[in-house]
Amino acid sequence: MMLENKVSLITGSNKGIGFSLVKKFSENGSDIIACARKKNVDFEKKINEISKKNNNKIYPIYFDLNSNEEILEGIKKIQSIAPNLDVIVNNAGIDQVSLFQLTSQKQINEVFQVNFFSTLIITQALMKILIKNKRGSIINIASNAAIECDAGRSIYASSKAALISFTKSLSKELGPLNIRANAVAPGLTKTSMIEKGISKKILEDALKRVPLKRVAEVEEIANVVVFLASDLSSYVNGETLFVTGGY
């Protein structure tokens, strides 16, 4: 029960790494505000089952990260539900693959809005709760693409690199207030991004660069986030933990 008596916010919680985070955080005793883009009956059924199984609370909140107006409305709801927020996990993100010369301004804006600017808005608003309570952990989900910078990933990699830089700077601002900020940079992970966005040939070539010779399970990424959210990582601040199987 590494997160017992904590309240955690998780964005992008309805699938992939985000849904695994909901399960892992609940198993470890945290109440959760589970943010997703659209209301989904199946998602609510699943989180209700998780909540009952682990005897804690999970509150679903819906807003589109592409809309600053919806984000601000969502923040108001979060503030009313969780005046004692302990953990913020900015997990939501979108992938994008195309040569830079073929990438439209609309695509660029969308990637940065969802992957970076929405995180700034949410963190800036909600870290006030952490500051008031003089404790907390902020965890931003980046990507090893931020440093690998492969062809066709210029915009996605840049958005994740910005997230890493933001995390490092934020850790220096909030550290004196007993609030930690860290990032997790997954490598190849078994999510819909991998299943739908990467061809079998590209995946096989990429796995040649992974000493463990496999992609990560979403639970393996979630375990690292649980560690950073818990008091076991009480002296870890301003770091980016690369979870890549040695890529």
Residue 210 lies in a domain: no
Residue 203 lies in a domain: no
In the chain, beta strands by DSSP E: 7-10, 31-36, 58-62, 87-90, 136-141, 179-186, 240-243
Residue 198 lies in a domain: no
Q: What average pLDDT does this structure show over 61-77?
A: 97
Range with the poorest average pLDDT among 58-67, 176-185, 202-211: 202-211
pLDDT of 136 above 70: yes
pLDDT of 196 above 70: no
Tokens (6 digits) for 74? 């969502």
Residue 108 lies in a domain: yes
- Which residues are CB-neighbours of 203 under 8 A, at least 6 positions away? 188, 194, 215
Residue 111 lies in a domain: yes
Q: How many separate domains does the chain show?
A: 1
Residues 139, 228: contact at Cβ < 8 Å? yes
Residue 77 lies in a domain: yes
Mean predicted lDDT score pLDDT of the chain:
95
pLDDT of 197 above 70: no
Q: Tell me, yes or no, if 247 is annotated catalytic.
A: no
Residue 19 lies in a domain: yes
pLDDT of 168 above 90: yes
- Nearest-angstrom CA–CA distance, 163 and 188: 18
Q: Which domain holds residue 125?
A: 7-188+218-241
- Nearest-angstrom CA–CA distance, 188 and 91: 16
pLDDT of 111 above 70: yes
Work out whether strand 87-90 and strand 7-10 pair parallel, antiparallel, or are unpaired: parallel
- Nearest-angstrom CA–CA distance, 68 and 85: 21
User: Which residue among 59, 156, 235, 247 is the active-site one?
Assistant: 156
CATH classification at residue 77: 3.40.50.720
pLDDT of 166 above 70: yes
In 91-153, beta strands by DSSP E: 136-141
pLDDT of 150 above 90: no
pLDDT of 247 above 90: no
The confidence score (pLDDT) of residue 58 equals 98
According to DSSP, residue 189 is labeled: B
